[in-house]
Structure 1
Amino acid sequence: MSYVRGEDRMQASLLPAAVEEYVAAEAPVRVIDAFVDGLDVKGLGFGRSVPATMGRPSYDPRDLLKLYLYGYLNEVRSSRRLERECRRNVELMWLVRRLSPDFKTIADFRRDNGPAIVGASRAFVLFCRDQGLFTARLVALDGSKFRAAASAKRVLGRREIADETARLDRRIAGYLADLDHSDAREGDDAPGATAAALAALEARRAELDRLAAQLDDDQRNTVVEGEPDARPMGYGKGPKPPSCNLQTAVDADTGLILHHEVTAEPTDNRLLHPMAKATKDTLGVVSLTVVADAGYSNGAGAAACENDGITPCAPANRSVNNQGDGTLFDRSAFVYQPDTDTYACPGERVLVRKQIMRRDNCVLYAAQDCSGCALKTRCTHAARRFLTRHLHDDALARMNARVVADPDLMCQRRCAAEHPFGTIKRMTAGGRFLTQGRQKVSSEAALSVLAYSILRAINLVGAATLRTSLA
């Protein structure tokens, strides 16, 4: 019994004469080709969308966009790797017609065309809408942390900046002392070396002062040196490397990403209204229903959504009474009376409005007299009971009530919103950006989202149907 053996390498073969015959009819690369060929690259703002009349011919931005989309779809994001793939990948040879741009040209295209790439991603969403691939009956919001290109060692806090500044001051003082004695030295092997080192230390000192001022201006405790748009993000007590928060709005019925955004927000708490409103504007619809997890719980955001014709559905994060080991009455035991703007307590006493706390977006209510109440020991250990109510408590309650009335909403959110992140993180080496800066990172995110959306659309209707619609 022998092994399965291949053909002799010297055996002459009658291979297909055209590259076209090597690419399967149902290959996703054909969908990429049809989609990009139909884009208005000039209207989207791609550079060199009109050929120059003089000088060396440039590459068509359509070819470079096709190259990147194919790369992100197949987990090849590096410009150097894409350069190599152009010479050995048969599908890429077909897609870009055997062009082989160098890595610098490939990298510059992604760097210089960020807004246009984001526009191309939006154009595919609008194409899917026009083809009836989704109805946006229910939109699921979610966010995930993606590692930034910066190292965790580049995260500086106020203490680290102060410690390094003190060390630099000591070294600068030492170099100044050396300069005072430099005239007395003879035969200096490196004249000017002390002055050059001193200049480098002073430049670093000025950079630390700038970072400290940036912390004060942004009211933050940490900054990522070299990548100010990234922030340390993580969960619980685990590591918090420099990251960006990628937000998505996903159609609950089809799993297509309708809108995405890269933010520097460490949490999702303030992103309910911005994401919902941006999705509504992108789709051009009159009304929209969105569902999100408890991380998006925000009374002001819920109220703003309702004002803009958006119906938010999310569990409300309510504060709990942590006094008395959790044995004291929770706020749910008190009944709000809107006519008098007061609360009625279980002991039939009244809590009246005391003050507005703008910083916390809430109103403080206080009992007028708790003495002699039989339930006081079960209510508070203080002289009287205090209670807070969110300024937009009604909108928060309505948002929570929708989830309580239909528990299946959270299941639909989980099934719709979390699957795209799993696929995108597989495409991006576990969820890590290669570039630095908000615009460049947004370009990467748009390429990843567009590659996922094309793959998802193919799975929904098939490559042949999609190509026919794009033609």
Structure 2
Amino acid sequence: MEVTRQPTQERAIFLRNLTTTTEQYTMQQKLSLEDIEWKTVAKRDLAPTFKAYDNKQAQMILDLEMYIPAHHVARVIDEMIEAIPDQQLFAHYTGGGRSSYHPKMMLKVILYGYSQKVYSCRGIEKLLRENIPAMWLAAMQQPDFRTLNDFRGVRLKSLMDELFETMIQKLIADHYITMENYFLDGTKIEANAGKYSFVWKKSTLRFEEKLKEKVQATLAHIHTLTQQEASEYAAAEPDEFPAKLEKAAVVLEEKVEELTEQIAAATGSEERKSLRKERSVLKQPLKQIREDFLPRFTKYEQQKACFGDRNSYSKTDSDATFMRMKEDHMKNGQLKPGYNVQMATENQFILFYSLHQRPTDTRCFIPHMEQLAASSLPFPKTVVADADYGSEENYLYAMGEEKEPRFDFLIPYGNYMKEKTRRYKKDIRHASNWTYDEHDDRFICPNGRYVRFKKYQMKKNASGLEQSFKIYECEDCSGCPFKASCTKAKGNRKVHWNTVWEELKAKAKKALEDDEKSAIYALRKVEVESVFGHIKGNRSFRRFSLRGQDKVHTEFGIVALAHNLLKVAGIRLTAFLKKRQHKKSWAENITLFHPTFYFGDLLDSPFFLGCRYSSMCEQSDNSSASASRPRSTSTPRR
């Protein structure tokens, strides 16, 4: 349906000669809808038209780079990898043989695959055939998945730490990070291992004890069979069982050979039958020693060496430890094989990372900081972490042995939040709520009785740290009305007071309650927790593809590099959008104020009024001439 406007004669003349002044534009907006006549016109029959399409026609792309935006992550990857000196990468290659793919190309392709949530080498190989940015980064080369996997698992294993430190140094030079505030936290990522391939340390020790009991009985039985020959092996120490069994097996083998020779020399059937029966009695414990006892002792020794200070490991990936994961689809607290990834961030960039076999974050703090100190990266000024890292051992490490501390720390201890509650402050079980007399070195309990110092006592915690405690004991708790709510001991109440720990807690509390430092600590959740969300949630990296701690360390390094490159690409995209929005808003402002700027002051000028008057005169002459002509009924062309 088409619409034809038929305004009145006078207004038609005015609209045809309408100028671009502000006043005339306002008059045009005031035209009433009552002057518009709607008329139905027959529509012409038009054939549909389409743009030319023929996918069988030969086509050619002369330049892949023209299809990649300026702020694309592929360009960031290309820029970062090209900044690495060639000698740094070539040092990990030996000369000779067939020409290898260029390490920069392989790095770019793998990093781009991880940035696109493609973590398998077969998937990256598919990207090289179908994805335009991947084709551009590879310069149309197509290494197969075996070559990619060999580069990722073998070549990068010796190169990753140096490569990651080079990238962090470049981010510092480009002013993305400063390494001043070091936000540290840990997360557990599942290993590439079977969920039910566990080996428990307690079970291994229990099985070994049962085996030793069985071996002891077998050695006594061998002593009975061989009389004097094996008598020296009957009484064996538990740690000497494998050697004793080996000697007993040698004695049994010699005895079996003698019986075999006697059987061959015997002439009577009854004699041979008796010798064979005697030989079979000796063969049974010999077979048990060779095929059962000695292999099991060897297996248990290997398992104990693999455990180290761990309580479990996986048969599929012996470096993985069974830990409690947040992703518990069975809702039963199932343990899964995994690694504890310790990671630090600033401005949501990953500054440093380390992988550990211990499930708790407390005992991973010092090894992580030692690895950071051994690297070429600058040491941070302030370390910010949650209460999982707040232990006496970690505080002492931060303080250092010298007068000046290694670094400032914002790490709350375990009961920091609980001590702020009103319920804790009114609980008389805690000696920190009692009155302390520093002069006499004694506490005064809520009942007004003295709790005097008795002795010093040294204790060793689970990590091996020796702690010094001062033991205080109440003078008399008999008849105390608060004893039931104060202690469960039958005798007098004793207080174990760790002076060093209390001083360290006071220092940590003072730092956390400072206004400036508390604002820094409040950024912890925004910093490191959001990075974990991006890696595990947005990019779905919840399980490693490689096995072994060294290879897993390399793989998470690729994940960390891809995250940092995506972060740089996001910052550049944000800057690009802001710049384009600023240009758009500036152009809109110029267009909006353009008529007022040029014509606002000229509307009332004599020259402008004269022009308007002569234009109105022409309009009146034209309208009188057009009134004598007949009106056309055809549809005007738009």
Structures share fold, TM-score greater than 0.5: yes
Q: TM-score range by the shorter chain?
A: 0.7 to 0.9
Mean Cα deviation higher: 127-136 or 283-292: 283-292
Per the TM alignment, residue 460 of structure 1 is displaced from its structure 2 partner at its CA by 2.7
Q: Which has the larger radius of gyration?
A: 2
Give yes or no for the alignment of 1:399 onto 2:481. no
Per the TM alignment, residue 41 of structure 1 is displaced from its structure 2 partner at its CA by 5.0
In structure 2, the residue matched to 1:145 is: 188
Quickly say closer, same or farther: Cα 1:345–1:327, change in 2 above 3 A. Answer: closer
What are the superposed Cα offsets for residues 426-460 of structure 1, whole Å, 9 maximum, x if unpaired? Answer: 47644111111111000001000010011112223
In structure 2, the residue matched to 1:102 is: 144
Q: Does the 8 Å contact 1:137/1:289 carry over to 2?
A: yes
Per the TM alignment, residue 261 of structure 1 is displaced from its structure 2 partner at its CA by 0.8
Aligned mate of 2:472, from 352, 355, 366: 366
Identity %: 23
In structure 1, the residue matched to 2:390 is: 297
Aligned mate of 1:90, from 125, 132, 150: 132
Aligned mate of 1:271, from 333, 348, 364: 364
In structure 1, distance between residues paired with 2:168 and 2:415: 36
In structure 2, the residue matched to 1:185 is: none
In structure 1, distance between residues paired with 2:379 and 2:312: 41
Give unmatched runs, 5+ long, in structure 1.
174-197, 466-471
In structure 2, the residue matched to 1:330 is: 430
For 1:228-239, what aligned pairs fall within 5 Å after superposition? 228-234=318-324, 238-239=333-334
Aligned mate of 2:88, from 43, 47, 59: 43
Mean Cα deviation higher: 138-147 or 275-284: 275-284
> Equivalent residue of 2:543, what SS?
coil
Q: Does the 8 Å contact 1:28/1:463 carry over to 2?
A: no
What are the superposed Cα offsets for residues 42-90 of structure 1, whole Å, 9 maximum, x if unpaired? Answer: 4367632x7x3x4321111111111110111111111122222212221
In structure 2, the residue matched to 1:194 is: none
> Equivalent residue of 2:335, what SS?
coil
What are the superposed Cα offsets for residues 375-431 of structure 1, whole Å, 9 maximum, x if unpaired? Answer: 652432422222234444322331233224455444311110111111112476441
For 1:208-223, what aligned pairs fall within 5 Å after superposition? 208-214=299-305, 218-223=308-313
Mean Cα deviation higher: 330-339 or 264-273: 330-339
For 1:160-179, what aligned pairs fall within 5 Å after superposition? 160-161=203-204
Q: Does the 8 Å contact 2:310/2:358 carry over to 1?
A: no
Aligned amino acid, residue 30 of structure 1: R
Quickly say closer, same or farther: Cα 1:44–1:265, change in 2 above 3 A. Answer: farther
> Equivalent residue of 1:152, what SS?
coil
Per the TM alignment, residue 287 of structure 1 is displaced from its structure 2 partner at its CA by 5.7
In structure 2, the residue matched to 1:125 is: 168
> Equivalent residue of 2:383, what SS?
strand
Which protein has greater RCO, CA pairs closer than 8 Å, 6+ apart?
A: 1
Aligned amino acid, residue 460 of structure 2: R
Aligned mate of 2:74, from 25, 29, 38: 29
In structure 2, distance between residues paired with 1:341 and 1:436: 57
What are the superposed Cα offsets for residues 118-143 of structure 1, whole Å, 9 maximum, x if unpaired? Answer: 32122111111122212334221110
Q: Does the 8 Å contact 2:323/2:359 carry over to 1?
A: yes
Q: How many residues are matched? A: 432
Structure number with the higher helix fraction is 2
In structure 1, distance between residues paired with 2:185 and 2:461: 26
> Equivalent residue of 1:418, what SS?
helix
Q: TM-score, normalised by structure 2?
A: 0.59
Quickly say closer, same or farther: Cα 1:7–1:218, change in 2 above 3 A. Answer: farther
Give yes or no for the alignment of 1:56 onto 2:73. no
Mean Cα deviation higher: 437-446 or 277-286: 277-286
Could you say what the CA RMSD is over the residues aligned between the two structures, in angstroms? 4.0
In structure 1, the residue matched to 2:620 is: none
Q: Does the 8 Å contact 1:79/1:106 carry over to 2?
A: yes
In structure 2, the residue matched to 1:68 is: 110
Give yes or no for the alignment of 1:356 onto 2:458. yes
Aligned amino acid, residue 20 of structure 1: E
What are the superposed Cα offsets for residues 180-215 of structure 1, whole Å, 9 maximum, x if unpaired? Answer: xxxxxxxxxxxxxxxxxx999889746632344237
Q: Does the 8 Å contact 2:325/2:336 carry over to 1?
A: no
Give yes or no for the alignment of 1:314 onto 2:423. no
Give yes or no for the alignment of 1:247 onto 2:354. no
In structure 1, distance between residues paired with 2:430 and 2:492: 15
> Equivalent residue of 1:29, what SS?
helix
Aligned mate of 2:543, from 428, 432, 446: 432
Q: TM-score, normalised by structure 1?
A: 0.78
Q: Does the 8 Å contact 1:161/1:208 carry over to 2?
A: no
In structure 1, the residue matched to 2:278 is: none
